[in-house]
Structure 1
Amino acid sequence: MVLALTSCGDDPEPQVADPTATPTSSPSPSESAAAEKEPWEEKTDDGAVAFVEHWLSTFNEMQSTGETVAFRELATTECETCANFVSLADETYSGGGRIQSDGWRLKSASPTSLDVPDGHQLALSVRQMPQKVFETATAEPESFPGGTVTFLATVVWTNDGWRMDSWEFPG
């Protein structure tokens, strides 16, 4: 069996676009921005310090909203203090309470001499703003004056980026 192809019209040559012309495109601003990493997403010494600042910002958000998911994701399972912070927020907010504060701010960070595989231990000076904790919706607040406190933070680099491995008072 033979198939014959015919065309109708006066032009026997089909009109086809030039196959050599290729449209060019450049990444959109949103694509370029998505490719850029935040400082705390870099596996560098400065990235470790930037991570501590990000961790504190996420901690402050958790304290003011009671939302703990983002904060949990920034800690390893070894960080007992992190788990205690989450428990305090969960207990307070599940009972109708709240935490009022302007948060904690990093004043300074310097590496210690402790060798941490895939990480750093940092001596931190943190400014804690005054805080009121309302354990329930009707409870009188427990007030804390705030001040500058020294902590030791151990951060480790994982497949998912920096994670808080411990947060403690120097002993």
Structure 2
Amino acid sequence: MIAERGGARSAARAILAAGLGLAALAGCANSGDSSSPKIEPSSTPSTAKVTPPAQVPESQQRDRDGAAAFTEYWFATLSYAVQTGNVDQLQKASSDACSACRQAISVIQDNYNDGGSLQGGLYTIRDANTYEDFAKDVMSVAVSYDRSPRQGSSPLGVPRGRLDGKSFADCDVRVQWTTGGWKVRGIDSADQIV
């Protein structure tokens, strides 16, 4: 029984890794070359079980490396929420003061609360580097990421809302240390995050 569960977990991880790889390729396909084919999000939700992201121990350290690792974790919770509609981890990782976080949560909830869904919209972090440290309480992290194209569907499968994929997008993420660890306090970006 334990061996079966381990095999199922390995299969689920392989499916998730393949999906993330396709997400990265989808971002590259839309990099501005109009002659290359566009990869569209699937019109039907995946049947693969998506597992919640785990926070690595480094992301719980109160230092520059911990801030960068936590920021990567936050984007993993964002991808998970987009795929599943479950925003619990994303909310826990986000400060109430973060307007970009609230907007992301609202977009996800608006699409799932009536029985609809989102397809695509997965994030792949290329780089996350802490560049400002305010007494180990607030840190700024420069992030470069790819996002696969995202489309919403109504409960009846009617397309609604679309966000193009993005390659090499940049944003600055401010994280704040709290009694429970890091939380995203704000995101500055020229591009729409969700």
TM-score by length of 2: 0.63
- The answer as to 2:119 corresponding to 1:100 is yes
Amino acid paired to 2:189: F
Within a 5 Å distance, the mapping from 1:45-124 to structure 2 comes to: 45-101=64-120, 103-113=122-132, 115=134, 118-124=137-143
Distance in 2 of aligned mates of 1:144 and 1:132: 6
- The answer as to 2:176 corresponding to 1:156 is yes
Shift in Å at residue 67 of structure 1?
0.8
Shift in Å at residue 163 of structure 1?
0.4
Q: % of aligned pairs identical?
A: 21
- Which residue number corresponds to residue 187 of structure 2? 167
CA contact (8 A) 1:95 1:137 kept: no
More helix by share: 2
- Which residue number corresponds to residue 63 of structure 2? 44
| C-alpha spacing 1:170/1:123, structure 2 compared with 1 (3 Å) | farther
Q: Secondary structure at the match of 2:159?
A: coil
CA contact (8 A) 2:85 2:109 kept: yes
Note the residue ranges of structure 1 that are not aligned, 5 or more in a row: 1-36
Note the residue ranges of structure 2 that are not aligned, 5 or more in a row: 1-55
Say what the alpha-carbon RMSD is for the aligned residues: 2.2
| C-alpha spacing 1:138/1:170, structure 2 compared with 1 (3 Å) | closer
Amino acid paired to 2:128: A
Point out the more displaced range, 102-111 or 81-90. 102-111
Q: Secondary structure at the match of 2:116?
A: strand
Amino acid paired to 1:67: N
Distance in 2 of aligned mates of 1:80 and 1:53: 19
Bigger radius of gyration: 1
Runs of 4+ in 1 over 6 A off after TM superposition: none
Amino acid paired to 2:175: V
| C-alpha spacing 1:119/1:133, structure 2 compared with 1 (3 Å) | same
Point out the more displaced range, 105-114 or 143-152. 105-114
Q: Secondary structure at the match of 1:96?
A: coil
TM-score by length of 1: 0.71
